Amino acid sequence: MLEVEVKYRNVEPAAVLARLFPLGAVKAEQRTDRDHYFNAPDRDFAKTDEAFRLRRIGSENRLTYKGPKRDAATKTRTEIEVKLAEGDAAAADTERMVRALGYRSVAEVRKSRIVFHLERSGFAVEACVDEVEGVGSFVELEIAAEEAQFEDAKGVVLQLAQELGLVEQERRSYLELLLERSAPPRG
């Protein structure tokens, strides 16, 4: 399955919400995500443009692999997500297992997320208004699509972004942005 996604920075959440609701968006949930990212023992995900994380949403736990981005207009990539047992013990066991396999901890990204659902051109779109600790405010628009639907889904998210008045696209991941902010100054 492909994750066809665009992300925009420096957004005014209230302005985005004012445009989302008239388009039929429905608020699905408000949550806090804690994403613990790991790097592989056999390659550097920063160089291969991949990602591997343990996501915690309340007591829910998920392992996610994201492949390299596929095009320049979106952040589309293969995404494989596996739901795990719930709770702190399951998260701790998963982290111990991942480390035992040689994966190294990179960083944890924390964000407050408001999720909205809407239908556009036959696609279920997820619109997320994010406040990322240490990084800022963003809006993500995402469609889960089959390979054959890629171009149509891409057109839908880009058109929706335009309708929402989103202009400052951000292709870097929240992890990349966080690591750039925390890197010591050069010179």
pLDDT above 80 for 127: yes
pLDDT above 80 for 187: no
Q: Domain spanning 2-182 has what CATH number?
A: 2.40.320.10
| pLDDT > 70 fraction of the chain, expressed in percent and rounded | 98
Sign of CA pseudo-dihedral 25, 10, 168, 31: negative
pLDDT per residue as tens digits for the range 21-42: 999 999 999 999 999 999 999 9
**Separation CA 41–CA 3 (nearest Å):** 25
Region 64-71: mean pLDDT is: 96
Query: What is this structure's pTM?
Result: 0.93
65 part of the active site: no
3-state secondary structure of 168: coil
**Separation CA 61–CA 87 (nearest Å):** 7
**Active-site annotation holder among 37, 65, 103, 174:** 37
pLDDT at 186 (0 to 100): 64
pLDDT per residue as tens digits for the range 97-115: 999 999 999 999 999 999 9
**Separation CA 5–CA 154 (nearest Å):** 8
pLDDT at 183 (0 to 100): 74
